[in-house]
Amino acid sequence: MTSWTDDQLSSIDKMLNPRSIAVVGATPRLQYGGRMLAAALKAGDQVSVYPVNPRYDEVMGVKCYPSVSDLPEVPDVVGVVVSSGQVLNVLNECHQKGTRAAIVISAGFSERGTQEGRDLQAHLGEFARESGLRISGPNCLGLANVKDNIWVSSSSRGAEGLSGPVGLVCQSGASAFGPFLNRALDSGIGLSYIISTGNEADLDFSDFVRYLLDDDDTKVIAGFVEGFKDASKFIEIAKLAAERGKPIVLIKIGRSDLGAKAAQSHTAALTGLDALYDAALSQYGVIRVADYDELLEVSNLLANSPPPPAQGLAVVSHSGGISSLTADMCGQVGLDLPELNDTARDGINGVLKGFGWASNPSDVTGFANSDSFPEIMQFMANDPAMGTLVVASSGGDAQAEQVIAQRDLDKKMALAFLWTGSRRESAGLDTLKKARIPVFYTPNRLATGIRSLLDYHIWLGRRGQAGFPAIPSITTEQQAVANKLAVKGGVALSEHQSKHLLAEWGVPVTTETLVQTADAAVEAGNEIGYPVVLKADVTGVPHKTEAGLVKLGLDNEAAVRAAYDEVTSNAANAGAGMNGVLVQEMVSNAVEVIVGVSYDSQLGATILFGSGGVMVEVYNDVSLRLCPIDESDALQMIAEVKGARLLEGFRGQPAADIAALADTLVRVSQLGAQLEGSLAELDINPLMVLPTGQGVRAADAVAIFQP
């Protein structure tokens, strides 16, 4: 597990809570150096600010120093705005002075795409780790402690009055201090910190998120990341965030190398990159969103809402059309709008006196802007089936105050406002924003936001009880089998060898015998019982059916002899290295599924579950998780696959043994995690799931170890 040193966290603390700031490259002009100085000076008397530039005696009314060495004290943090070739010299001077934190605004490093730029950046990282002077950047716009109005940033935009519970971490400085900051200001969404990490020569996205997990004023962390420097490190962060009960909401773009590699197994070919990140983030409680507005709105909702006490959603509006559209959007994401109980329905109808209609959603017409509206909201909130109240309207300050009072009266219930008026209106809307009532502007965004709120707390409750599965210790016997098979690295193992590996991890395989002659094949068929299957047991051929090396449904000795001759002849023609012929039981009356393991260079071992037959290939009907998983994860994976409906007993067929399937998924995930670094790919295709109580059988398998 990744650990964070006091050195890293204390350096970040200096960046975000400095008592002294030096700006190297400060100028009177409002370019990067000038803007950074102007931003730092906003802090007033709470921070000492030192411009550093040998060309000036004074900048913006503040004494300017020729170098960091000449400063009257050791600055907590140094902002560096000089040419890329000068950065390392400045950092070395900062180190000699005793500074432990620097923010490098300067560009001209790896983002240029040149070897020179990459080398310059690598030198920065090496210097930071060797010296202990930790670096944010280069090529970033800095950081802002919004709650204390301390800006170590070259952004020209301020955020007075924006303080709030959402911490924002972005790799892109232009995004952090551009669209995110602008939208937060427009929507009244309060931020605790704004952090841009840039090229991440030293400290990265995960390091800053780790710091915010310890910050009591940050209730939710909102992130924008193009690509993780170390994705496994972020997964450890996500686990810790779950332990702290602090949500992470994330926009994730970018690519890894998984989709580009040459895959020999079905599993590796089916494991799409973006789907893998989706699965990994969801598995560890990270809420993935699509755009700027969704990131901020969902973060704001989570930061300002209690865990809803029930799954039901109550919607009230002045308009039947608005109510209906909101209900429709909520239904599309699986939200539940229960019918009102008798007390709520009769109470609201008593207020309406024949106008509107008490239902869920409720159309209360003009009563949404009356002194009776609090009574209506309270009737809905008192219904025990309701955990979230949504008000869809655009009333003035009086209505807004009523909604705020309802929120303050019932602190256990989540509350959100769907604003149906113009965003330019101030009456009502500004009052809601200042009171931190989560406001949405479209029904679909409201619906997805509430879905995220409910899903997160359901997930957190389940994880709080079960914890995260650990990787069990590999046994001596398992390690011996893996070591023996690993000598054939880079080559697809034969089915018999692959099943030997599975069996060592407790995965049920078909009854089978490896034979070398037709007579032995007949003898094995008689012992196993007809019908049987014959397969050439070959290495280096992951897909045997296409090569004519599989014969199914052989129900007598003559059929076995003929099949033996055919598969051995086909193997010889294919030039395959044959270990013999497998005679195995013919498994019938079962549902076919696929299970497999592949590896991503950053995320590590991944388990895949999918429907069998052509559906998995044509529709990519699969579910993914990082290894290892537990039974709860396994059951969720099964539920996510559309073809898994067949397991429940479709059109009169018996229900399949889902418990045995879940157990197999757990065992395969443990195998994948334990053999990471040794195993390259694993396919069980098909895995036959028999009726309830009869278990599963791996009917075919292929394992490939690393070269």
pLDDT, residue 258, reads 43
**How would residue 499 be classed by pLDDT, with cut points 50, 70 and 90?**
very high
Do 597 and 526 have their domain in common? no
Does any domain span residue 640? yes
In tens, the pLDDT along 643-690 reads: 888 899 877 789 999 999 999 999 999 999 999 999 999 999 999 999
Do 167 and 119 have their domain in common? yes
Average of pLDDT values for 1-20?
A: 85
In tens, the pLDDT along 220-251 reads: 999 999 888 899 999 999 999 999 999 999 99
Do 582 and 639 have their domain in common? no
pLDDT, residue 615, reads 64
pLDDT, residue 3, reads 58
Tell me: pLDDT of 161 over 80.
no
**Start-end of H helices in 170-265:** 173-175, 181-187, 205-213, 231-244
Does any domain span residue 132? yes
List the single range of 111-115, 468-472, 522-526, 538-542 with lowest mean pLDDT.
538-542
Lookup result for tokens 């809803």: 308
Do 581 and 608 have their domain in common? no
How far apart (Å, rounded) are the C-alpha atoms in residues 491 and 505?
A: 21
Do 621 and 555 have their domain in common? no
- The H or E element spanning position 579 is strand 577-585
In tens, the pLDDT along 577-599 reads: 789 999 999 999 999 999 999 99
How far apart (Å, rounded) are the C-alpha atoms in residues 235 and 280?
A: 8
Query: How many other C-beta atoms are found inside a 10 Å radius of the C-beta of residue 662?
Result: 22
pLDDT, residue 455, reads 97
Tell me: pLDDT of 442 over 90.
yes
**How would residue 260 be classed by pLDDT, with cut points 50, 70 and 90?**
very low
- CATH number for the domain spanning 205: value is 3.40.50.720
Does any domain span residue 505? no
pLDDT, residue 255, reads 45
Average of pLDDT values for 563-573?
A: 94
Average of pLDDT values for 3-7?
A: 71
Does any domain span residue 242? no
Average of pLDDT values for 17-30?
A: 97
**How would residue 318 be classed by pLDDT, with cut points 50, 70 and 90?**
very high
pLDDT, residue 469, reads 95
HSE, side-chain direction, 13 A CA sphere, residue 664: 26
More confident site: 7 or 358: 358
pLDDT, residue 545, reads 82
pLDDT, residue 220, reads 98
DSSP string, 600-667: ETTTEEEEEEEESTTHHHHS--EEEEESP--HHHHHHHHHH-GGGGGGGT-TTPPPB-HHHHHHHHHH
Average of pLDDT values for 453-476?
A: 93
**How would residue 602 be classed by pLDDT, with cut points 50, 70 and 90?**
confident
Tell me: pLDDT of 361 over 90.
yes
How far apart (Å, rounded) are the C-alpha atoms in residues 674 and 680?
A: 12
**How would residue 264 be classed by pLDDT, with cut points 50, 70 and 90?**
very low
Do 114 and 43 have their domain in common? yes
pLDDT, residue 273, reads 73
- CATH number for the domain spanning 324: value is 3.40.50.261
Do 533 and 615 have their domain in common? no
How far apart (Å, rounded) are the C-alpha atoms in residues 490 and 488?
A: 6
Does any domain span residue 499? no
Query: Pairing mode, if any, of strands 101-104 and 77-80?
Result: parallel
Query: Pairing mode, if any, of strands 142-145 and 191-196?
Result: antiparallel
How far apart (Å, rounded) are the C-alpha atoms in residues 42 and 568?
A: 82
Tell me: pLDDT of 467 over 90.
no
Do 168 and 67 have their domain in common? yes
Tell me: pLDDT of 257 over 50.
no
pLDDT, residue 271, reads 54
pLDDT, residue 254, reads 63
More confident site: 1 or 5: 5
pLDDT, residue 259, reads 38
Tell me: pLDDT of 362 over 70.
yes
HSE, side-chain direction, 13 A CA sphere, residue 180: 29
Tell me: pLDDT of 262 over 70.
no
Do 62 and 167 have their domain in common? yes
Does any domain span residue 481? no
DSSP string, 293-333: HHHHHHHHHHHT-PPPSSSEEEEEES-HHHHHHHHHHHHHT
- CATH number for the domain spanning 608: value is 3.30.470.20
**How would residue 542 be classed by pLDDT, with cut points 50, 70 and 90?**
confident
Average of pLDDT values for 1-17?
A: 83
User: In the listed set 559, 586, 613, which residue is the last one of a domain according to the structure?
Assistant: 586
Report the percent of the chain where pLDDT is more than 90.
Answer: 83
pLDDT, residue 4, reads 67
Average of pLDDT values for 84-97?
A: 97
| Summary mean pLDDT of the chain | 93
pTM: 0.92
More confident site: 408 or 614: 408
In tens, the pLDDT along 162-206 reads: 899 999 999 988 899 999 999 999 999 999 999 999 999 999 999
**How would residue 253 be classed by pLDDT, with cut points 50, 70 and 90?**
confident
User: In the listed set 539, 564, 586, which residue is the last one of a domain according to the structure?
Assistant: 586
pLDDT, residue 270, reads 52
What six digits make up the tokens of 185?
Answer: 């200001």
Do 360 and 378 have their domain in common? yes
pLDDT, residue 269, reads 53
pLDDT, residue 263, reads 41
Average of pLDDT values for 82-94?
A: 97
pLDDT, residue 131, reads 96
- CATH number for the domain spanning 551: value is 3.30.1490.20
How far apart (Å, rounded) are the C-alpha atoms in residues 187 and 166?
A: 13
Count of structural domains within the chain? 4
Does any domain span residue 270? no
Does any domain span residue 255? no
Do 558 and 597 have their domain in common? no
Q: Containing domain of residue 90, as a range?
A: 6-229
Report the percent of the chain where pLDDT is more than 70.
Answer: 96
231-244 helix and 205-213 helix, angle to the nearest 10 degrees: 10
User: In the listed set 194, 229, 264, which residue is the last one of a domain according to the structure?
Assistant: 229
Lookup result for tokens 């995965």: 507
Do 581 and 615 have their domain in common? no
